[in-house]
């Protein structure tokens, strides 16, 4: 549940870089997503056709501050997005490193504190750092969105142990894997680890068949969630026979 909103579909889908408006529309429908992320800059450049796609999708809009490199820039962008989209939800991105697109932890916390105090419901794009997560919660965030890998890299979950530790530490906080997911199997892995949702864009938008890939990711996320809820078997260091010894034939010499 994100800020009081319960989602049936745990896949959150970005709307950038699709080959055409029609493919974007079809991918959103095929994914079954209930939340789509939109950059304010993308909305401004997309024109009326893009706005119609957003409206017709029936999805909840999660505006983002993509491309912002300072707390001030992110706060201003978020305030503009709230006016344009009419929602207090904001995916907060404050980029601190040009090559990895890693968030700036200091500016991120500063911007989160300002926006939460201003009534925003903030979804911060962060790393798996526990201290940073604590600071964001203290600032008022009720959701954390750690990266799996750098944005658009498709590398999947690079720091599995760190993400597992984060999941265990923030037991009562919704956690969404955001960025770096490149294959449905990686999304399923995140859900099997107990994460609450997966947010992705490039892996669908840049696929040979974005519509089919959107459906594949939706199924993978659902399967991973179902597997986690069902209870995965513990990993063992040694083999354990599935066939019992009792009842087996005894061969006499």
Residues making up the annotated binding site are: 152, 179-180, 201-202
Q: Is residue 90 assigned to a domain? A: yes
The pLDDT score that the predictor gives to residue 41 is 67
Q: Is residue 3 assigned to a domain? A: no
- 183: CATH: 3.20.20.70
The pLDDT score that the predictor gives to residue 238 is 84
Instruction: Give the residue ranges of the chain where pLDDT is below 50.
Output: none
Residues making up the annotated binding site for 1-deoxy-D-xylulose 5-phosphate are: 152, 179-180, 201-202
Q: Is residue 60 assigned to a domain? A: yes
Q: Which residues of 74-106 are buried (b: 16+ CB within 10 A; e: fewer)?
A: bbebbeebbeebeeebbbbbbbeeeeebbbbbe
State pTM to two decimals.
0.89
Q: Is residue 4 assigned to a domain? A: no
The pLDDT score that the predictor gives to residue 248 is 65
Catalytic residue among 8, 55, 91, 206: 91
Domain count, the chain: 1
Q: Is residue 205 assigned to a domain? A: yes
Q: Is residue 121 assigned to a domain? A: yes
The pLDDT score that the predictor gives to residue 240 is 81
Is-contact 202 179, C-beta < 8 A? Answer: no
Q: Is residue 133 assigned to a domain? A: yes
Q: Is residue 212 assigned to a domain? A: yes
Give per-residue pLDDT as tens, 4-42.
999 999 999 999 999 999 999 999 999 999 999 998 765
The pLDDT score that the predictor gives to residue 1 is 82
Let me know if 206 is a catalytic residue: no
Residue 128's domain comprises 11-230
């Amino acid at each position: 549940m994100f800020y009081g909103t319960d989602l049936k579909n745990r896949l959150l889908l970005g709307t950038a870089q699709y080959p055409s408006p029609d493919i974007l529309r079809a991918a959103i429908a095929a994914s079954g997503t209930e939340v789509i992320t939109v950059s304010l800059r993308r909305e401004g450049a997309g024109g009326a056709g893009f706005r119609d796609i957003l409206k017709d999708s029936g999805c909840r809009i999660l505006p983002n501050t993509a491309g912002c490199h300072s707390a001030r820039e992110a706060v201003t962008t978020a305030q503009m997005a709230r006016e344009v989209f009419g929602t207090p939800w904001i995916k907060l991105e404050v980029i601190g490193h040009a090559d990895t697109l890693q968030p700036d932890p200091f500016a991120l916390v500063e911007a989160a504190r300002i926006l939460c105090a201003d009534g925003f419901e903030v979804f911060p794009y962060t790393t798996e750092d526990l201290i940073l997560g604590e600071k964001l919660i203290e600032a008022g965030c009720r959701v954390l969105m750690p990266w799996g890998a750098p944005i658009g890299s498709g590398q999947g979950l690079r720091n599995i142990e760190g993400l597992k530790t984060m999941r265990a530490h923030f037991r009562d906080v919704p956690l969404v894997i955001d960025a770096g997911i490149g294959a449905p199997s990686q999304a399923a892995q995140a859900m099997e680890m107990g994460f609450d949702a997966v947010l992705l864009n490039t892996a669908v938008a840049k696929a040979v068949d974005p519509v089919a890939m959107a459906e594949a990711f939706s199924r993978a996320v659902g399967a991973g969630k179902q597997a986690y809820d069902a209870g995965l078997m513990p990993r063992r260091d040694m083999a354990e026979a599935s066939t019992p010894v009792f009842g087996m034939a005894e061969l006499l010499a």
